[in-house]
Structure 1
């Protein structure tokens, strides 16, 4: 997927400053611009919203697999 550098810069800045709220704010802006029939600006904010979602997904730590998490305490209990 090709992404515009302006979109990525803006999304990165939003995520750094606002965290999870970046997605909500970009979605609100997208709705406002769509309602105003400003399609070019709405497309920019749609891309910002998607980039923010991706950046937040990459930033949050991955949860361990349920099988690995369940096996870890049992394995520790078996050690002398």
Structure 2
């Protein structure tokens, strides 16, 4: 995977200064720029977010980065009509 040096520098600095908050902040910027239809800047922040996640995972391998997808409901063991 090829990483832009600007993305790597920015993500590294963000992770050093903000720790795990770097992911949340980069996600907020990504959403704001996507809503503003600034696709080039949104792509930059998407790369920063993913690079920050990777840097945090490398920094503390015992602790996984926060999951970015919404939580899923547990499967139902029995249909409610049969109870």
Pair in the same fold by TM > 0.5: yes
1:11-69 deviation line (CA, Å, top 9, x unaligned): 00000000000000000000000000000000000000000000000000437xxxxxx
Query: When the two structures are superposed, what TM-score results if normalisation uses the length of structure 2?
Result: 0.74
| Alignment of 1:26 onto 2:26 | yes
- In the other structure, the counterpart of 2:53 is 53
Name stretches of at least 5 consecutive residues in structure 1 with no aligned partner: 64-80
Provide the secondary structure at the position in 2 that maps to 1:30.
helix
Superposed CA RMSD in Å reads: 1.1
> How many residues get paired?
63
Query: When the two structures are superposed, what TM-score results if normalisation uses the length of structure 1?
Result: 0.76
| Structure whose alpha-carbon radius of gyration is higher | 1
- In the other structure, the counterpart of 1:17 is 17
Name stretches of at least 5 consecutive residues in structure 2 with no aligned partner: 64-83
